[in-house]
Amino acid sequence: MTDALRALQIDEQQRSPGRAGSSHSVRKTWIAAAAALAVVVLSTAAWRTARPRPRPVHVVTVSRAGATPRGTLTAGGYVRHARIVNVVPRISGVITSLRVAEGDIVRQGDLIATLDSRELADQLVEARADVEARDIAAERAGRERERSKVLADEGAVSVQAFEQADTESRISRKAAAAARARLAHASELLDRTKVRAPIAGRILRKYLDVGSVVSFGLPYAEGYSTLAAGSPIVSIGQLESLEATADVIQTDLGRVAIGGPVEVRADAFPGRSWRARVLRLAPRADRNKNTVEVTVRFDEPAPTELAQDMSVKLSFLAEEAPLAAAERTVPASAVLARAGGHAVFVVEGGRARLRPVVVGAPKGDVVPVKDGLVDGEVVVVSQLESLKDGTAVVTESATANGDSHE
């Protein structure tokens, strides 16, 4: 009986053949995915094992180095132009055009602005016509004088008639000369409507704009100070002879000498310095601050990047700083001798790039670089023999002689 019942029982696969096949297909898919993942993992591991690791190297940052000048006194001050000119038109009028902006560099004679010239142009035309009329009258009076002289010599007219003709001729000549003078004045007035730069320099300030009325001769004041006897359009600072001033405590004046060297630095340009010399000491002291104003003049060519009234720090030096102070140097261990020259490895984007350089004679542990590097670049000072152009590196800072910082 039991065997008969088992014979009648339906097998699971016979009851749902599709379900069994689907399950078998899913198992195959999972097995294939697992195999692919294993291949990826093994390939990645093999690639990482075969890929060269970045080489750790010691580096230094390129900068200008050398003997450091010894400063005896440091004081804060401000930049100023030795000569500042407020450009005031020599005639009153309305500004019709302005050709410059603050910061522009101009040459002497460059056009700064123009004023309304229509009325003066009409006056010039009138003056020119008056000259022509006066010249014609003088020419006619001259001919009349000559005719009267001939008649007077023949006795045909009286001497008084000749004298009258002579007087009228001289008056006509003087009137023609006066007309020519008025013509020259009208021409000069018209030319004054073109305002030009009296000196070469930089436009420091613009006072007025197009449409403003300028007045010649009337004092122009700001606060309690009179800037000019007239309406200034712009002010120009002469580029040559750039100066800086600082207030020095009276007890420190013994450490400041006329003509002495000065090193000037500006917070606006970190890492840069300019040379100057003490020009003069103010003849009067400020008894409220117990200071004396000291003026220094920059060595030529004057730095154009320093603006009027920019704050600077003045270091009055005890002695001249050697020229080597301006050299850009790198450790001797960073320089490779190559056929036809020298080279260094510069780190760019995590890779060592071979860069040709021009170097000078070694000075101890450093070598001056004359060309090929700029301040702020990073050069390799170790493991040079194992590097090639493009080798991946990991950087560690080093001292000037190439030793690493621990």
pLDDT in tens, 66-81: 444 445 689 999 999 9
Nearest to 378 by CA among 355, 399, 348, 340: 348
How many Å apart are CA 288 and CA 228, to the nearest integer? 29
How many Å apart are CA 210 and CA 188, to the nearest integer? 22
Helix count (H) and strand count (E) of the chain?
A: 5, 25
Q: Are 390 and 54 in contact (CB under 8 A)?
A: no
**pLDDT string in tens for the chain (406-residue length):** 445 445 444 454 444 444 444 555 656 666 666 666 665 555 555 545 445 678 888 888 887 654 444 456 899 999 999 899 999 999 999 999 999 999 899 999 999 999 999 999 999 999 999 999 999 998 999 998 888 888 888 888 888 888 888 899 999 999 999 999 999 999 999 999 999 999 999 999 999 999 999 988 777 666 555 666 678 999 999 888 899 999 999 988 888 999 999 999 998 888 788 999 999 999 999 989 999 999 999 998 888 888 889 999 999 987 554 444 457 888 888 898 887 789 999 999 889 999 999 988 887 778 888 888 888 888 998 888 888 888 888 887 554 444 444 4
How many Å apart are CA 43 and CA 118, to the nearest integer? 87
How many Å apart are CA 300 and CA 3, to the nearest integer? 120
Residue 291: how many other CB atoms lie within 10 Å: 19
| Amino acid residing at 155 | G
Query: Which position has the token pair 């050697």?
Result: 322
How many Å apart are CA 335 and CA 128, to the nearest integer? 78
Q: Are 372 and 357 in contact (CB under 8 A)?
A: yes
How many Å apart are CA 240 and CA 303, to the nearest integer? 9
- pLDDT for the residue 5: 43
Whether the model clears a pTM of 0.85, i.e. scores above it, the answer is no
- Cα 148 to chain centroid distance, Å, stands at 76
Residue 23's contacts (CB-CB under 8 Å, 6 or more residues apart) are none
If you write DSSP's letter for every residue of 180-237 in order, what string do you get? HHHHHHHHHHHHHTEEE-SS-EEEEEE---TT-EE-EEEEEEETTEEEEEE--SEEEE
Estimate the crossing angle of helix 159-192 against helix 118-154, to 10 degrees.
160
How many Å apart are CA 15 and CA 144, to the nearest integer? 150
Kindly provide the residue ranges of all beta strands, DSSP E only, lying in 7-110, ordered along the sequence: 55-61, 63-65, 71-81, 84-87, 93-98, 105-106
Tens of pLDDT, residue by residue over 4-37, are 445 444 454 444 444 444 555 656 666 666 666 6
- The SS3 assignment for 338 reads strand
- pLDDT for the residue 54: 81
- pLDDT for the residue 20: 46
CA atoms within 13 A on the CB side of 252: 17
